[in-house]
Amino acid sequence: MAEDIITTVTEGYAFDEPAVGVGALVVDDDKAVPDAKVAIPLAMFNRHGLVAGATGTGKTVTLQVLAEQLAQAGVPVFLADIKGDLSGMATNGDGGEKLLKRTAALGQDWSPQAFPVEFYALGGQGEGTPLRATMTAFGPTLLSKVLDLNDTQESSLGLIFHYADAQGLPLLDLKDLRAVVQHLISDEGKAELKALGGLSAQTAGVILRALINFADQGADRFFGEPEFNPADLLTTSPDGRGTVSILELPDLQAQPALFSTFLMWLLAELFQDLPEVGDLDKPKLVFFFDEAHLLFNGSSKAFLTAITQTVRLIRSKGVGVFFVTQTPKDVPADVLAQLGARVQHALRAFTPQDAKALKATVTTFPHSAYDLEEDLTRLGIGEAMVTVLDDKGRPTPVAWTRMYAPRSRMGPSDEATMSGLINASAMKAKYGTDIDRDSAYEILARKVAAAAAAAVPEPATTAPAPPTPQYEPIPSLDPSPKSRAAKKSKAAKQPASSPTGFLDTLAKSAATTFGREITRTLFGTAKRR
């Protein structure tokens, strides 16, 4: 039986095209067969994949191995670093005796190597280059997922975005969106609220409270400018290797829905911006979506439909997506059906739920010589059952695989190395300084002031006291003292406001910032122009 498996795997993974090595076949539970190499054709990475397994079985190291070889082949890679271990890709690996013994047994030609890395931090929460999105670009669909809104509230939030888009009110950060909602439920905005149709003051109030709670959790730092352009993920180093973009997520458990949804925004933006290219010899980018279950938990039917369509169609844009999670059941069936490569690390069957998940996992594999229901529980750390699509798009034989070792460090890079790379990065220079330009918050504040000034008759001899805005900024979202001083200085230089002046300002803002009403994508994100 072992000889049959060796022959089947050797022939099944003998590709004519360039491939990314995964590991070597294991037979008789422990014997590695160096000549029976398991790999994924480079051109098949845009057919997507799944890396799954229980905690501590080696998923992170598998990501590192795949990312290294993709980068070596000139393919840019995006990784979310949940535990901080992947930063070690910027540092040469430590070749100890145990590691060299393993690589020799697998027939792996191993040498220490560091890779070109860009470090990012979501909203600047970490050491890397800040990664932000404007509220307009993020859109109502993804924001509804983050705010845990129901279908009715999601539809209402869409109307609020539609109103802001049509009126030329730039929603750059969280306080802009709150200002628009506050305006619509105010006495001055009631007529506009009624004209929207389908949006009640009560629902708008619920959305406003959700936004306030969201801001109280510190979420306002994730939205603003400069907005990150996902095209900057598609870069290579001067020596031709693909850049490994690592997004630091040190506080994942605090706001898991926000982190996972932000990753989906990146993917949706790539899908929107990239041209159709068909099947390439190698992908433009491979996107590893870690902790994928967080994306799907509690998602609406419309949201899941949008994910499914994005995954199905983005391969024609040259982008491969690998979902990383504990079991295949964490991924909806319609999405799972789009994933051509399976790297399944060990599963546990300690509870009835575990046993049910194990049975479901077995059904996702093609027929094989293995008793997968038993063998999936016997895999060692750094071992996996692998099946991929060959260079002709056919499923390869299931192979019990011992994974190769990474060439870079398995563990975090030291602080000095990371700081040096971050400070020298062109991305840091591009996105490192936040911008707070004129947007919906300021425009609506001027509208209130102008309306109040017009309503007060001018005394004959004394100048009127400056009007008090009806929309007081919420303390948790107040600009910093420095920002307030800057805005007061800017306001002092501007001519006195008037209702006509406000309308001129609004029209100019609509013309220069938007040009016309914003059009939105399947995910509700604003189309980049």
CB 422 within 8 A of CB 428: yes
Q: Which two tokens stand for residue 52?
A: 């799954």
pTM of the model: 0.83
Mean pLDDT of the chain: 85
Rounded CA-CA distance 221/208 in Å is: 18
Tell me where in the chain the CATH 3.40.50.300 domain(s) lie. 2-132+225-413
Is a pLDDT exceeding 70 seen at residue 490? no
Segment 215-233 mean pLDDT: 89
Highest mean pLDDT: which of 214-223, 433-442, 480-489, 496-505? 433-442
Bigger pLDDT: 197 or 113? 113
Whether 162 contacts 520, CB under 8 Å = no
Query: Do the bridges between strand 31-41 and strand 285-289 make them parallel or antiparallel, or are there none, so unpaired?
Result: unpaired
Q: Which two tokens stand for residue 411?
A: 């563990």
pLDDT tier for residue 306 given thresholds of 50, 70 and 90: confident
Which pLDDT tens digit goes with each residue over 328-387? 988 999 999 999 999 999 998 888 888 888 998 998 898 888 999 999 999 999 999 999
Residue 181 confidence (pLDDT): 93
Q: At 481, is the pLDDT very low, low, confident or very high (cuts 50, 70, 90)? A: very low
Instruction: Tell which wins on pLDDT, 253 or 298.
Output: 298
Residue 440: closest CA among 512, 510, 498: 510
Q: Would you say residue 521 has pLDDT above 80? A: no
What does the pLDDT average to over 66-93? 93
> According to the model, what pLDDT value does residue 93 have?
94
Spell out where 228-340 has E strands.
244-248, 285-289, 319-325
Residue 186 vs residue 115, higher pLDDT: 115
For residues 110 and 408, give the distance between their C-alpha atoms in angstroms, rounded to a whole number: 10
> Does 148 score more than 60 pLDDT?
yes
Residue of 254 and 507 predicted with greater confidence: 254
- pLDDT tens, residue by residue, 497-514: 444 444 444 434 443 444
Q: What is the 3-state secondary structure (H, E, C) of 200-227?
A: CHHHHHHHHHHHHHHHHCCHHHHECECC
pLDDT tens readout for residues 397-450: 999 999 999 999 999 999 899 999 999 999 999 999 988 889 999 999 898 888
Alpha-carbon distance 404 to 139, whole Å?
A: 41
> Which is nearest to 265 in space by CA: 277, 283, 247?
247
CB 442 within 8 A of CB 169: no
More confident residue, 302 or 497: 302
pLDDT at 524: 65
CA distance 246 to 33: 33
496 pLDDT band (50/70/90 cuts)?
very low
Say if residues 106 and 402 touch (Cβ distance below 8 Å): yes
Whether residue 523 contacts residue 270, with contact meaning beta carbons closer than 8 Å, is answered with no
Q: Which CATH class is domain 2-132+225-413?
A: alpha beta
